[in-house]
Chains A and B, each alone.
Chain A
Amino acid sequence: MEIYLPIADLPVNVFLLLGMGLAVGFVSGMFGIGGGFLMTPLLIFVGISPAVAVATVSTHIAASSFSGAVAYWRRRAIDIALALMLLAGGIVGTTAGVLLFTALRRLGQLDIVIGLSYLLLLGSVGAMMVAEGLRAILRARQGKPVELRRPGSHTWIHGLPLKIRFKQSKIYVSAIPVCAIGFIMGFIGAIMGIGGGFLLVPMLIYFLRVPTNVVIGTSMVLTLITMASATILHAATNHLVDAVLALVLMVGGVTGAQFGARAGQKMRSERLRLLLGILVLGVGLRFAFDLIVAPDDLYTIRTIGEAP
């Protein structure tokens, strides 16, 4: 059954979209991530323009991170103060990201920048995750205990001024790196259409030493607000958010996430991390392929406005 997407301006099979939502939702539930880094490329590969894909996926992620955040809120596993501090940077980052997005779109270089960003970010993060996952599995095979970073060890980040105590996370850390992380996540989220959970969680753990019991809930609150504001900003400036597309994706996504979460609980965490790393790396390489291999058609056309 074909449905007509009013903003993407093309008819798409509704079951294909629901299936994509389910599949990405399954993966996101399994790994505890938003899944934007999979959903945006999938939409691009089925023919939706990268600009509409990025803008619409931010709506989809807002929905999935809200349902996640509610669950963590019930368990009191969210550090509100830390989330608010991250948000201060996040909102600024999102606004800057949407402004750059608009400017690149006008210059006709948006698609290339989206492709390159995916390649660089997912390629490097994916390669690190795969290497880390393989090391962990090898260590487990050799019977050695899994190496844990000592939470007490301090880095240069802890020497920065403007220190604030976050009670729930039991950390005492400068506001500067917290805002900076928020800014980075908001910025790349607006440009690439990713919530960035797969980046934010490790950053919070390694740089700020946020304990694992509150890290996912807190990151979901940041993702929720930055993605909701990205939706509003993309809609207000570029008119690119397709509500029909977003709704179909979210229905598939939140359903798939439930099954994914159950499947994820049965797997060992180092194997799960390795799988996620392979997935991230794979998507990055797919973008490399598109950028490096000669395109079928060197020409593209884009409408710049209807004559009245």
Chain B
Amino acid sequence: MKRTVRARIPVACAMASLLLGLSALPAGAERLVSSLSSHIVKITSNFTGVELTLFGTVENDQAAAPRSGYDIVATVTGPRESAVARRKERIFGIWINAQSRTFVDAPSFLEVLATRPFENIADAATLRREQIGIANISLPQQIGPDIADVIPNDQFRQAFVRIKHERNLYGEITNGVTFLTPTLYRASIFVPAEALVGNYDVDVKLFADGAVIARTSSAFEIVTVGVERFIANAAVDHGLAYGVATAMMAVMTGWFASIVFRRD
């Protein structure tokens, strides 16, 4: 079940982009170019988050009159992971986890940056089709044997997005992209310390007259380096050896302390 959903999303995206790209191209011949200030982020022991800069230009091949109102929407999507959301209820006077929902392969990080509020960029149907804004991005839940997305005002979905937002992992900045010149744009992407390691996709869409006229994508990767990476990997890949080593470390520390602080 998981596999089919995962497989379908890219296929659907590819088809949508193909169709839209074909239909949009004759209208204008803009090309979108983008790059990131860094394509690899290294997490070290004092990592407290990092700010990356996304920048690029709108290239207009034709000599045709350039359009006036360009809008950019950049969506940064972190590695996908499944998560359980639980709701507490008061049972016999104490608060206990009662209902739960599983979010299947939800982005661990989601940041949507735009030049203007989304509703000013395109109409609701276009925003939904292009998955612009967190409310329009699919967050499939496991409901019984099926996997489906629910309406944006579903309580669990809202709680999930809110908690992610509180941890600085989900966010929307509707003035996050600025045009420095009519064709040169830049945006800052802040990746907090809590962000997972893995690949981050940056999907950039160019809007004009309420429609997508060009798109491009970029990516960066967060990696842990040094001791942290070694420890985190060892803990998962070699749990038993890691446990024995940690227990030995405890014994050595205790032994060392008993020598240092020996009082007789």
Q: Measuring CB to CB, which residues of chain A are less than 8 angstroms from any residue of chain B?
A: 1-4, 6-7, 9-11, 59-60, 62-71, 74, 108-109, 111-112, 116, 224, 227-229, 231-237, 239, 241, 243-244, 246-247, 250-251, 254-255, 257-258, 291-292, 294-295, 297-307
Chain A residue, CB-CB nearest to B105: A307
Q: Which of B14-22, B111-119, B172-180, B236-244 interfaces with chain A? A: B236-244
> Which of B47, B100, B159 is in CB contact (< 8 Å) with A108?
B100
Chain A residue, CB-CB nearest to B194: A10
Determine the chain B residues whose CB is within 8 A of the CB of A10 once the complex forms.
193-194
Chain B residue, CB-CB nearest to A304: B82
Prevailing SS type, chain A contact patch: helix
Determine the chain B residues whose CB is within 8 A of the CB of A59 once the complex forms.
246-247, 249-250
B25 within 8 Å of A (CB atoms): no
Contact A228 B251 (CB under 8 A): yes
> Which of A74, A247, A300 is in CB contact (< 8 Å) with B249?
A247
Instruction: Rank and list the top 6 A-B pairs by shortest CB-CB distance, nearest first.
Output: A235-B243, A66-B254, A254-B257, A299-B159, A232-B243, A67-B254
Determine the chain A residues whose CB is within 8 A of the CB of B132 once the complex forms.
none
Complex Cα spacing A1 to B46, Å? 8
Which of B249, B257, B262 counts the most A-chain CB atoms under 10 A from its CB? B257
Q: Mark B83-105, 1 if CB is under 8 A from A, else 0.
A: 11111111001111100101101
Q: A2-B48, A4-B193 are in contact. Are A247 and B253 (CB under 8 A)?
A: yes
Contact B228 A4 (CB under 8 A): yes
B79 within 8 Å of A (CB atoms): yes
B150 within 8 Å of A (CB atoms): no
Complex Cα spacing A64 to B254, Å? 6
Within the complex, the shortest CB–CB distance from B63 to chain A, in Å, comes to: 46
Complex Cα spacing A237 to B228, Å? 20
Chain A residue, CB-CB nearest to B100: A108
Contact B88 A246 (CB under 8 A): no
B220 within 8 Å of A (CB atoms): no
> Which of B89, B162, B163, B235 is in CB contact (< 8 Å) with A241?
B235
Complex Cα spacing A6 to B79, Å? 18
Chain B residue, CB-CB nearest to A1: B46
Contact B46 A232 (CB under 8 A): no
Determine the chain A residues whose CB is within 8 A of the CB of B196 once the complex forms.
306
Contact A112 B97 (CB under 8 A): yes
Contact A294 B95 (CB under 8 A): yes
Within the complex, the shortest CB–CB distance from B190 to chain A, in Å, comes to: 15
Which of A60, A244, A299, A305 counts the most B-chain CB atoms under 10 A from its CB? A299
> Which of A7, A74, A250 is in CB contact (< 8 Å) with B264?
A74
Q: A64-B254, A70-B254 are in contact. Are A11 and B48 (CB under 8 A)?
A: yes
Contact A254 B83 (CB under 8 A): no
Determine the chain B residues whose CB is within 8 A of the CB of A307 once the complex forms.
2, 6, 79-82, 105
8 more contacts with CB within 8 A, not counting A243-B235, A302-B86, are A1-B46, A2-B193, A59-B249, A66-B250, A258-B261, A301-B86, A303-B82, A307-B82
A-B contact pairs, 23 of them (CB 8 A): A4-B228, A6-B228, A11-B46, A63-B253, A66-B250, A70-B258, A71-B258, A71-B262, A111-B97, A112-B96, A235-B246, A236-B239, A292-B94, A295-B88, A295-B95, A297-B159, A298-B89, A301-B83, A301-B85, A301-B103, A301-B160, A306-B198, A307-B2
